[in-house]
Chain A
Amino acid sequence: MIKFENVYKQYDNGHTVLKNLNLHCKEGEITVFIGPSGCGKTTTMKLINRLIEPTKGKVLVNDVDISTISPVKLRRSIGYVIQHVGLFPHMTIADNVAVVPRLLEWEEDRIQKQVKNLLDMVNLKADTYADRYPSELSGGQQQRIGVIRAFAAEQSIILMDEPFSALDPISREQLQDELIRLQKDIKKTIIFVTHDMDEAIRIADKIVLMRSGKILQEGTPEEILRRPANDFVKNFIGKKRLAQFEAIPESEEVMTRKPVTILPSRGLAESIKIMERKQVDSLMVVDTKDRLQGYITIYDVLQQFKDETKRVGDIMHTFEHVIAPDTLLNQTIELMDEHKLPYVPVVKDDQTLVGLVTRGTIVGHLSDIYSGNEGL
């Protein structure tokens, strides 16, 4: 969707703000650029609508090199929400929202309909607000208008430059929630610049962490929190947030490491013996290299028991849900709850079975935590 290829940006005074930037922002995702001030995040964003031109390298939008598109035409096809709201104070709310459709010479009927729809979308009544001026609205309302102005001409790409930074914390969170809710319906490609890590974690599909003109790390919020690339990233995320994250155990810590297994080539009588000895009602079926194949339960075995030719491999079921060793406990619980699973196997990338998370192991783990706390 949006691609940066070997982009450099040097200002006339010799200061280099971007050094060999390569990046791909996916369609329909919120990509958040984050970093300390002066890291080049805003510069990178402004390259997309040619408010800033690269010194070297290419920026591609939908596989078209944007240096071949006229800046005016390009900007009308990209929504832009600026930091200080930037509503035109001499225009009414309706006129502000209609700015780009008017530049594109839409028909007036269509514009009016669009303005009303957009105001509805952010819960501002058109009857009440359309004819007011920006100075008559609160900061949060103004920025809502700023956001819908960027959507007005049905642009598929929206740039947002620290849009909520000037708002009080409560309005900020409201607007973040609204953005997440809107994004679910409209699926725009959004580039969002911020210096607020909480905001980034909240809204991002992908976070791009920058420092002095370079990308330090990019990935989902989860990946960045879980595996910060270096100390700078760790510091930027903040100990508190990391600690919060680390406090949630991964499935590896919760699982039982010795699930009872059986090879698919074994007979049913043998499987009953194993169940008896280990006092379980189901067995994990693995191949000779410990790769998970499926499971059998005592009910299946008893039903098919009369047929001596049947092997474990013939009656086993496959798993619909498995988790990785680093899946967080809260996600595991969610999964088990949603699909009413009594247990869920933990497998590595190559399907090797490493353990089993059951309701029992979860309760065991939690009781460990609480009895541990009592000891303190």
Chain B
Amino acid sequence: MDMVIRYLQHNWDNLLLLIGQHIVMVLCGLILALIVGIPLGILSAKNERAGKYILAIANLIQVFPSLALLAMLMVLFGIGFYSVVIALFLYSLLPIIRNTYVGLKEVDQSIMEAGKGVGMTKLQLLRKVQIPLSLSFIFSGIRLAAVIAIGVATLAPFIGGDGLGKEIYSGINLRDPVKIYSSAIITAILAILADYLLGLAERKTRVK
């Protein structure tokens, strides 16, 4: 443990850079997944048939082994940042689509009817009633996606990406357990922090 702390003290500037890269990759993947996933989730909730296919495909992507997915993306998009972001995007899709879908479906029928009955258009119903009421579900989806993405992002160096994975990878090559531990611990802390912060958001948006 002392060695890990000493290592952190000596390499904090490099590590900080890696943390920054890591976060940027994860954020880009997540934001893309939000932009695509929330509309897909809404579509799934509105149209049962489309929803069946969308959720099936998202499920399929999720069960794909991450290393295999990265290798495939490398073939398609070349090595580097973009392939990593696309992989993170794909992994984040399912939790976000599914939680949006479930959140919208969970809105009490009587509240939906009240909205309809007072003369809201479909769009107003979605904006003023359904989405506000499913926000906490959507946040819990983002939370799950973020934790997965932070973990998967450590595989980035295999296809030429950056981030904390680089330090782990070089630790493996150099057979330097201190290097591996310290970057692994930082990754874990990042994941816990994301989990905690998004958990707060989830609780805050939950409606009794």
A residues with CB within 8 A of B: 49, 51, 71-77, 80, 82-90, 99-100, 103, 133, 135, 149, 159
Chain B minimum-CB-distance residue to A84? B110
Contact, CB under 8 Å: A80 / B120: no
Task: Indicate the member of A49, A51, A72 with the most B CB atoms within 10 Å.
Answer: A72
Known: A90-B133, A135-B208. A80 touches B118 (CB 8 A): yes
The reply to whether B117 and A51 form a contact with Cβ atoms under 8 Å apart is yes
Contacts of B119 in A (CB 8 A): 71-77, 100, 103
Contact of B111 among A75, A86, A133, A135 (CB under 8 A): A86
Q: In the assembled complex, which residues on chain A have CB atoms less than 8 Å from the CB atom of B176?
A: none
The 9 closest A-B pairs by CB, nearest first: A86-B114, A75-B119, A76-B119, A80-B117, A84-B110, A135-B208, A90-B207, A90-B132, A86-B110
* B116 CB contacts on chain A under 8 angstroms: 51, 75
Complex contact A75–B118 (CB within 8 A): yes
- Check A72–B110 contact: CB distance below 8 A: no
Task: Find out whether the CB atom of A99 lies under 8 angstroms from the CB atom of B207.
Answer: no
Q: Say yes or no: is B113 at the interface (Cβ < 8 Å to chain A).
A: yes
Task: Kindly state the separation between the CA atoms of A369 and B159 in the bound complex, as whole angstroms.
Answer: 102
Q: Inter-chain contact count A-B, CB under 8 Å?
A: 59
How many whole Å from B132's CB to the nearest CB in chain A? 5
A76 to B208: give the CA distance in the assembly, Å.
27
The smallest beta-carbon distance between A86 and chain B, in angstroms, is 3
For the complex, what is the distance from the CA of A358 to the CA of B63, rounded to whole Å?
92
23 contacts between A and B (CB under 8 A): A49-B117, A51-B116, A72-B120, A72-B121, A73-B119, A74-B119, A75-B116, A75-B118, A75-B119, A77-B119, A82-B117, A86-B111, A86-B114, A86-B117, A88-B111, A88-B133, A89-B133, A90-B132, A99-B118, A100-B118, A103-B120, A103-B124, A135-B208
Q: Mark B27-57, 1 if CB is under 8 A from A, else 0.
A: 0000000000000000000000000000000
Of A76, A77, A82, A88, most buried by chain B (CB within 10 Å of CB) is A88
**Could you mark each residue 120-133 of chain B with 1 if its beta carbon is under 8 Å from any beta carbon of chain A, else 0?**
11001000110011
* Nearest CB of chain B from residue A100's CB, rounded to whole Å: 5
* Contact A85 B110, CB 8 Å, known A90-B207, A133-B208, A135-B208: yes
**Least CB distance, B61 to chain A, in whole angstroms:** 32
Residues of B within 8 A of A135 (CB): 208
For A51, list chain B residues within 8 Å (CB): 113, 116-117
Docked complex: B106-153 residues within 8 A CB-CB of A: 108, 110-111, 113-121, 124, 128-129, 132-133
Given A75-B116, A80-B117, A99-B118, 5 more contacts at CB 8 Å? A82-B110, A86-B114, A88-B111, A133-B208, A149-B118
Q: Which residues of B contact A74 (CB under 8 A)?
A: 119
A71 to B114, CA, bound (A): 14
Interface contact B110-A89, CB-CB below 8 Å = no
Query: A89 vs B136: C-alpha distance in the bound complex, in angstroms?
Result: 13
B124 to chain A: which residues have CB within 8 Å? 103
Q: Do B118 and A103 have beta carbons less than 8 Å apart?
A: yes
Instruction: Give the docked Cα–Cα distance between A312 and B115 (Å).
Output: 71
- CB-defined contacts of B111 to chain A, threshold 8 Å: 86-89
Contacts of B121 in A (CB 8 A): 72
Which residues on B sit within 8 Å (CB–CB) of A73?
119
Which residues of the partner chain A approach B110 to less than 8 Å between Cβ atoms? 82-86
- Residue with the greatest number of chain A CB neighbours at <10 A, chosen from B113, B115, B133: B113
Contacts of A133 in B (CB 8 A): 208
Known contacts being A83-B110, A84-B110, is A89 close to B207, with CB within 8 Å?
Answer: yes
Complex CA–CA separation, A76 to B118 (angstroms): 6
- Please tell me if the beta carbons of B120 and A88 are within 8 angstroms of each other in the complex: no
Residues of A within 8 A of B133 (CB): 88-90
How far does the Cβ of B112 sit from chain A's closest Cβ, in whole Å? 9
Bound Cα distance from A49 to B208, whole angstroms: 29
Which of chain A's residues has its CB closest to B114's CB? Answer: A86
Residue of B nearest to A102 (CB): B128
Interfacial chain A residues near B108, Cβ < 8 Å: 84
Q: How far is the CA of A80 from the CA of B119 in the complex (A)?
A: 10
**Residue from B108, B116, B117 whose CB has the most chain A CB atoms within 10 Å:** B117
Instruction: Give bound CA distance, A54 to B161, whole Å.
Output: 62
Expressed in whole angstroms, the Cα–Cα distance for A73 and B121 within the complex equals 10
Q: Which residues of A contact B132 (CB under 8 A)?
A: 90
Q: Are A82 and B113 in contact (CB under 8 A)?
A: yes
Cα–Cα distance between A99 and B132 once the two chains are bound (Å): 15
Q: Which residues of A contact B114 (CB under 8 A)?
A: 80, 82, 86-88
Chain B 71-101 interface mask (CB, 8 Å, partner A; 1/0): 0000000000000000000000000000000
| Cα(A90)–Cα(B129), bound, Å | 8
Contact A89 B117 (CB under 8 A): no
Is there contact, CB below 8 Å, between B120 and A86?
A: no
The residue of chain A having its C-beta at the shortest distance from the C-beta of B129 within the complex is A88
Q: How far is the CB of B67 from chain A (nearest CB, A)?
A: 42
